[in-house]
Chain A
Amino acid sequence: SQTIHQWPATLVQPVGSPLSLECTVEGTSNPNLYWYRQAAGRGLQLLFYSVGIGQISSEVPQNLSASRPQDRQFILSSKKLLLSDSGFYLCAWTENGNTEAFFGQGTRLTVV
């Protein structure tokens, strides 16, 4: 069966520090991969998606970036965090656009 792993679960980082969140999927090949952010107030915002290795599409311009170095690995990064980057980050995967997305357990990021 397919599983998705996301880490770390919680993170407290100072303003201006770098960020690296990692997500891996097991049990499937060539998944579509996604990073969403949920700020206080609950709405989910799509940040990045990827349909293959090295292919990244950005939905919202910001100081975050994403990379997909391997088929089932998706990384969210920042060189310098802002206070506004605080939130709950969720990684997800789908088989294709017609199917449901399955989410990781999320990373709660607090920038101080």
Chain B
Amino acid sequence: AQKVTQAQTEISVVEKEDVTLDCVYETRDTTYYLFWYKQPPSGELVFLIRRNSFDEQNEISGRYSWNFQKSTSSFNFTITASQVVDSAVYFCALSGGGADGLTFGKGTHLIIQP
């Protein structure tokens, strides 16, 4: 069975600070896919990134960066110079590549204070 753990229930930082959201996963699949989604107060889930299990390169997109480490089964998300608009719930998710949907973590509520 697959499992995604986001141990940080809520994080609160002051604007412009860097913040890292942790994600640890469990799977028996040799090929799998990891995702991050953002859920603003409006409720819609916004796709941020997908990472394949065979590609361990870290990725940077503007102020966002992702650190994928198979050795520790982690896929952490860092926001540099956080902004108030980054306030949201962030979900990490896992797929084995089949059609049977994503396994989500419980989410981390990120609060950026001005």
Contact = CB atoms under 8 A, between A and B. Distances in A.
A99 interface: yes
Interface of B: 33, 35, 37, 42-47, 50, 52, 89, 91, 95-107, 109
Nearest to B52: A98
Contacts of A90: 45
Nearest to B43: A106
A46 B43 contact: no
Contacts of B101: 34, 36, 46, 49, 59, 101
B106 A42 contact: yes
Interface string A90-105: 1010101111111111
Interface in A40-98: 41-44, 46, 49, 51, 57, 59, 88, 90, 92, 94, 96-98
Contact of B99 (A44, A49, A88, A105): A49
Contacts of B46: 103
A44 B104 contact: yes
A32 interface: yes
A88 B105 CA distance: 16
Contacts of A32: 99
B97 A98 contact: yes
A90 B52 CA distance: 24
Interface in A11-33: 32
A27 to B, nearest CB: 16
Contact of A97 (B45, B95, B106): B95
A31 B103 CA distance: 19
Residue from B44, B99, B105 having most chain A Cβ neighbours under 10 A? B99
